């Protein structure tokens, strides 16, 4: 029993989750144990404030302290429970079933929070772009806006700095961002870390240990944030177009690097994870601290630093432009013509560039500026990518009148049986899949003929199947299979 537990926790991913569990647990204990100390400090600070101010500080402290240690204990409970469950099902048929449901639930939650965050972000950028800034605007206002929605009229005002008196109830927009990132990271763990040999590592791309791939994944997200944050604090940030070009170039460099290390599918997802980390980091490290300082200054009647709002607004605008590429990456694993292309990083750069152009057009349109010429640019870029990623014929039946070798069904079926049937069968023998993915089976000749176009796209053109190339399918085998399909996929 002890030796089995030791072997279980020797798994790098399990050890990592275990460390996070302990950290969350001890963070909860520390928050609870020191709550009285922090409350005493707040009371001492409050002696110099009015009774109402003191009560307000106490209420705010109690709320945040309670939320923190409750969240810490909840995270620790979920992680530790997950470790116990995974220990008992590892290596059994229930493992793939439970992971499938975990994938579903985390993905569903991630999409819900993502919609909440992106929707709020788009709405506030729309407000900023659409404010009336000139007609009958009071001196303390940056602008106002009338709107109608859901059968009612709304009137909104934006202050240049802050109102003279802050309302008691002030709505914050932050938890949507936090939980979008948390669920996204959990999805990265469930899909790519817990199945690293299947989804993260492709030995035909780079023969790398699963633990090393996970460490590279984590390290790249941290390094990417520090590079971006450094640029945001540099003079370059004042030159918007140049900052955008440099940021885009660095993102493309990361995409190329990921494509040289991870499986094609994982390379795309990691670009999305990196961009999502930058967006959430902007909220956590940039936007919310600035807003807290603005609120504190307004409450304490101190002069407000205008640069706080300016910097927070700038990072919010960065998030706005990043969103479209991230949304594409979220759905990209359904489209192997993109991530499965030989130069998938270049395809991603093209799609991201086109989407940023569309986003810029929308932003300018909301400001009343006509940049309609941008839409044809984005459209032709997408058309060019469609042509560039199109399927290529592996063979024709003759070359300059000379007959070439035909590939028979027997050879094609042997290739399919060797590299595809382990998963795509009514009775899979694969150690991960206990049910054929998407119910696609290749047991009979008729099954293979029916799925020939899918087989060509997945195993020949994009080379994303077998998953992680775990059966070591060679380029020659892919070419022969493609030849059979291009020659008409005949049974004789």
Question: Which among 84, 89, 90, 74 has a CA at the least distance from the CA of 25?
Answer: 74
CB of 103 within 8 A of CB of 298? Answer: no
Q: Which residues of the chain have pLDDT under 70?
A: 1-73, 75-76, 79, 393-404
- The pLDDT value recorded for residue 48 is 47
As beta bridge partners, residue 147 has: 154
Question: 């470790």: which residue's tokens?
Answer: 83
- The pLDDT value recorded for residue 4 is 54
Instruction: Give the single-character DSSP code of 464.
Output: -
Residue 65 vs residues 30, 39, 76, 145: alpha-carbon distances, Å: 11, 10, 17, 37
Q: Which helix (H) or strand (E) holds 148?
A: strand 141-149
Measured distance CA(180)–CA(113) in Å, rounded = 5
Rounded to 5 degrees, what are φ and ψ at 149? -160, 140
Measured distance CA(106)–CA(184) in Å, rounded = 8
- The pLDDT value recorded for residue 336 is 87
CB of 305 within 8 A of CB of 330? Answer: no
Measured distance CA(60)–CA(54) in Å, rounded = 10
Domain residue spans of the chain: 1-90, 91-388, 407-486
Distance of CA 354 to the CA centre of its chain: 19
pTM of the predicted protein model? 0.80
Measured distance CA(295)–CA(307) in Å, rounded = 14
Measured distance CA(427)–CA(243) in Å, rounded = 54
Q: Residue 319 has which token pair? A: 């998030």
As beta bridge partners, residue 144 has: 132, 157
Measured distance CA(274)–CA(251) in Å, rounded = 9
Measured distance CA(18)–CA(78) in Å, rounded = 11
Helices (H), 34-170: 35-46, 51-89, 93-130
- The pLDDT value recorded for residue 56 is 60
């Amino acid at each position: 029993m002890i030796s089995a537990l030791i072997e279980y926790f020797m798994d790098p991913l399990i050890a990592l989750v275990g460390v996070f569990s302990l950290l969350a647990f001890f963070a909860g204990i520390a928050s609870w144990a020191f709550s009285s100390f922090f409350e005493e400090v707040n009371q001492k600070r409050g002696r110099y404030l009015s009774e109402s101010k003191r009560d307000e500080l106490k209420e705010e402290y109690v709320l945040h302290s309670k939320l923190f240690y409750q969240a810490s204990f909840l995270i620790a409970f979920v992680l530790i429970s997950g470790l116990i469950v995974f220990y008992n099902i590892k290596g059994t048929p229930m493992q793939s079933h439970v992971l499938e449901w975990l994938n579903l639930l985390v993905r569903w939650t991630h999409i819900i929070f993502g919609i909440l965050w992106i929707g709020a972000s788009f709405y506030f950028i729309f407000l900023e772009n659409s404010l009336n800034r000139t007609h009958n605007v009071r001196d303390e206002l940056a602008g106002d806006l009338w709107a109608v929605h859901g059968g009612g009229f709304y009137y909104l005002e934006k202050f240049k700095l802050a109102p003279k008196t802050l309302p008691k109830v002030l709505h914050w927009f932050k938890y949507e961002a936090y939980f979008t990132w948390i669920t996204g990271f959990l999805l990265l763990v469930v899909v790519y870390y817990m199945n690293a040999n299947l989804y993260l590592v492709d030995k035909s791309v780079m023969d790398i240990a699963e633990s090393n791939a996970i460490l590279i994944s984590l390290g790249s997200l941290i390094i990417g944030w520090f590079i971006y944050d450094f640029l945001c604090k540099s003079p370059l940030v004042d030159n918007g177009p140049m900052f955008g070009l440099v940021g885009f170039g660095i993102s493309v460099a990361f995409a190329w690097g990921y494509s040289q290390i991870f499986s094609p599918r994982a390379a795309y997802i990691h670009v999305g994870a990196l961009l999502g980390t930058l967006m959430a980091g902007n909220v956590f490290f940039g936007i919310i601290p600035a807003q807290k300082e603005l609120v504190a200054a307004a409450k304490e009647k101190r002069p407000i630093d205008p640069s706080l709002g300016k910097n927070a607004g700038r990072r919010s605008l960065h998030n706005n432009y990043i969103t479209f590429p991230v949304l594409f990456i979220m759905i990209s694993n359904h489209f192997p013509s993109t991530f499965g292309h030989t130069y998938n990083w270049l395809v991603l750069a093209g799609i991201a560039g086109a989407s940023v152009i569309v986003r810029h057009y929308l932003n300018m349109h909301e400001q009343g500026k006509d940049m309609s010429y941008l839409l044809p640019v984005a459209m032709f870029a997408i058309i060019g990518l469609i042509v560039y990623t199109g399927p290529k014929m592996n063979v024709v039946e003759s070359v300059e009148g000379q007959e070439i070798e035909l590939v028979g069904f027997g050879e094609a079926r042997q290739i399919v049986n060797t590299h595809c049937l382990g998963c795509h069968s009514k009775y899979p023998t694969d150690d991960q899949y206990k049910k054929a993915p998407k119910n696609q089976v290749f047991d009979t000749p008729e099954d293979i003929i029916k799925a020939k176009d899918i087989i060509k796209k997945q195993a020949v053109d994009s080379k994303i199947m077998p998953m992680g190339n775990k059966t070591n399918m060679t380029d020659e085998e892919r070419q022969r299979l493609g030849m059979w399909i291009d020659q008409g996929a005949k049974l004789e």
